[in-house]
Amino acid sequence: MKVTVLGSGTCVPSLKRASPSYLIETGRHKYLVDCGSGTLIQLLRAGHDYRDIDGVFITHAHSDHISDLMPLIHALVAAPGVRRKKPLLIVAPHKAITFYQECLLFLIRKPKGFVIETLIPKEKIMVEENMLYSIKTIHSDDSVAYRFESSSGSVVFTGDADYSDALVDFSRGVDILIADCSFPDEMKAQGHMTPRECGILAKKAGVRTLVLSHIYPVGVSDDILLRQCSSVFKGMILIAHDLMEITP
C-alpha cells in the first residue's frame, strides 16, 4: 500500500498546496480519495496516468473535494486514442452522486466503452482485494471518512471532519491516519480539527503515523503545527505536502 498526497490544501487557491486529493495504491489497483481542483495535473506530476484510476472515493460534495471529477471523466471519454474498457467506480455520499448524475452527465456525454458504477458509502464493503469502511463525520450533512484495509496495511482519510469519539473508534490501530488539520489551535473552526485535536485523536486511536493535511494558508509554520500536535501525540507526525509519498 502506498499513499501519494496530490493535494494537501483547501478551497483557498495556493501555489503550495492543491485542493484535497490522494492517490492510494493497493496491489494492482489505484484509487483517488477526493478529487479537488488540480488533481489531474498533480497525478501527472506524481508520474501517474489518469487512465489507470480504478475508482474515486469522495468524502463529501464541497467543491474543493469534487471539482476535478468532471475533467477526469471528460478525459476518459473524449481524449484521442483513449479506449477505456474497465469500469470506473465512484463511491460518494448521496449529494455527490446526485451532482454526478444530474450535472456531470448533463454536460459531458455518457461513456460508451466502459461503465461508471456508483455506490453510496456503506459501513463495510469489499472493493477488489481491499476492505473499505466508512463512517459519518461532523462537518456537513453528507460528509464521511474512509478506512482502507489490505494485506499490506491500513489507512484512514478523515476528509473534512471535527473531532469525535466515533472517529477515534473508526481510526483505532490504523497504520496511517490522514487527518483534517485546517487551522492552528488558536483558530479553531467548527467542522474541522486543530493540531492538538488531531493529536488527541491519534493518541486515543493508537495509530502508527499521523499525517496533518487540509491545511489553510493562514501564515502559520509547519513547526508550530508540529509543536501543537506533538504536545499530545508522541508517535510519528508528518505535515502533508503535495506529491509526498507515504507507506505503512
The better pLDDT of the pair 13, 81 is held by 13
Per residue in 161-179, pLDDT tens? 999 999 999 999 999 999 9
In total, the chain counts a number of residues equal to 248
Q: What is the pLDDT of residue 153?
A: 95
Strand order across the 130-136 sheet: 124-127, 130-136, 144-150, 153-157, 176-180, 209-213, 236-239
Query: Cβ contacts of residue 65 below 8 Å, gap of 6+?
Result: 19, 20, 34, 35, 36, 58, 59, 159, 160
Which superfamily does CATH assign the domain made up of 2-246 to?
Ribonuclease Z/Hydroxyacylglutathione hydrolase-like (3.60.15.10)
Task: Name the pLDDT band for 5 (thresholds 50, 70, 90).
Answer: very high
Q: How confident is the model at residue 78 (pLDDT cuts 50, 70, 90)?
A: confident
Cell of 24: 492510494
**Backbone phi, psi, residue 147, to 5°:** -130, 120
> What percentage of the chain has pLDDT greater than the value 90?
82
CB 176 within 8 A of CB 130: no
Higher model confidence: residue 107 or residue 101? 101
Residue given cell 459501513 in the structure block? 123
pLDDT at 13 > cutoff 90: yes
Rounded to the nearest 5 percent, the helix, strand and coil shares of the chain are 25, 30, 45
